[in-house]
Structure 1
């Protein structure tokens, strides 16, 4: 069974597996509360999967602008 999007594709957008997991989990909780999505056409049935699809399409990203 192949998961989509693949971890390799996702790591092109988010360079840390820890950040990827944290960001997708937070976004999944947000979607569960608001029922609002950043993409219209998604394949996953679960919130974490939809969050990963949003990251893959560049709609959800992490910026480390701490300065």
Structure 2
């Protein structure tokens, strides 16, 4: 079974697997609490899958806070 979106596609938007996992897990918890999504059409039935689809479509991303480093 092939997973969509693929890790290769996701890594084009988020350059770290650790960041990708952390970001999608946090977003999944947020969706579970609020029931609000950044995309209207999604294929996944699970929150983490929807979060990964949001990353793939460029709706979910992160920025680096230069002051925090």
Provide TM-score, normalisation by structure 1.
0.97
Partner Cα separation in structure 1 for residue 63 and residue 10 of structure 2: 15
Give the Cα–Cα distance (whole angstroms) in 2 for the partners of residues 36 and 66 of structure 1.
29
The DSSP-based 3-state class of the residue aligned with 1:10 is helix
Instruction: List alignment gaps of at least 5 residues for structure 1.
Output: none
Root mean square deviation of aligned Cα: 0.6
- The match for 1:34 is 34
Figure out how many residues of one structure are paired with residues of the other and give that number: 67
Deviations 1:5-32 (A, max 9, x none): 0000000000000000000000000000
Gaps spanning 5+ residues in structure 2: where? none
TM-score (norm 2): 0.95
Partner in structure 2 of residue 66 of structure 1: 66
| Runs of 4+ in structure 1 over 3 Å off | none
